């Protein structure tokens, strides 16, 4: 796994960590195979081999509404970030991030026209990682900002790392 790359998670992860708030795989839709959701990955600064995965969504109208509501209520929103992936706006859902190790990776998201791994701008990457680390620190302090029980999953993954 590489920092700043996008990956798809295999089904075993959801079997090993049956959290109802994890964004589940949607492999077959109307009889057609899809790899969804896709996750942006960055390595944990304290645990080599542990990565944090941030899913993104194309349902930007829905998440702009949620984002606006959070801004109105709290004055800021670190749990949703908007940015471009392959030229299209996406909503990065820090509120749904989860920890993982490479054994749970199915495959990497590759641009089908260039056959090159998909990347995002350095500015967006910096914002995503900064906000995700801030949200994670608050989660560790007992503030519930992320839907899945990421601290429980993180502890189990750390135990399994070589």
Residues 137-149: pLDDT tens digits?
A: 999 999 999 999 9
Segments in the chain below pLDDT 50 = 28-29, 32-33
Q: Which fold has domain 6-160?
A: Thiol Ester Dehydrase; Chain A (3.10.129)
List CB contacts of 31: < 8 A, sequence separation 6 or more. Answer: none
Tokens of 130: 């900064």
Using alpha carbons only, give the angle 13, 27, 79 rounded to the nearest 5 degrees. 60
Residue length, the chain? 162
Model-wide pTM > 0.75:
yes
Dihedral pair phi/psi, residue 14, rounded to 5°: -75, -25
Quick one: CA torsion of 118, 115, 111, 52, rounded to 10 degrees? Answer: -30
Q: What's the pLDDT tens digit per position in 23-57?
A: 877 654 455 445 668 999 999 999 999 999 999 99
Distance CA 68, CA 70 (A): 5
Please state the domain extents for the chain.
Answer: 6-160
Tokens of 131: 């906000």
């Amino acid at each position: 796994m590489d920092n700043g790359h996008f990956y798809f998670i295999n089904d075993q992860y959801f079997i090993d960590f049956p959290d109802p708030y994890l964004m589940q795989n949607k492999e077959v839709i109307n009889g057609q195979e899809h790899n969804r959701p896709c996750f942006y990955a960055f390595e944990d600064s304290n645990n080599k081999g542990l990565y944090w995965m941030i899913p993104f969504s194309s349902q930007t109208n829905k998440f702009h509404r949620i984002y606006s509501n959070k801004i109105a209520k709290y004055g800021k929103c670190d749990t949703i970030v908007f940015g471009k992936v392959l030229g299209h706006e996406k909503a990065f859902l820090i509120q749904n991030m989860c920890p993982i190790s490479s054994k749970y990776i199915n495959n990497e998201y590759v641009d089908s026209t260039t056959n090159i791994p998909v990347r995002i701008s350095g500015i967006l990457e910096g914002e995503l990682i900064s906000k995700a680390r801030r949200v994670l620190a608050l989660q560790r302090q007992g503030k519930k900002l992320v839907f899945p029980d990421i601290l429980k999953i993180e502890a189990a993954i750390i135990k399994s790392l070589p």
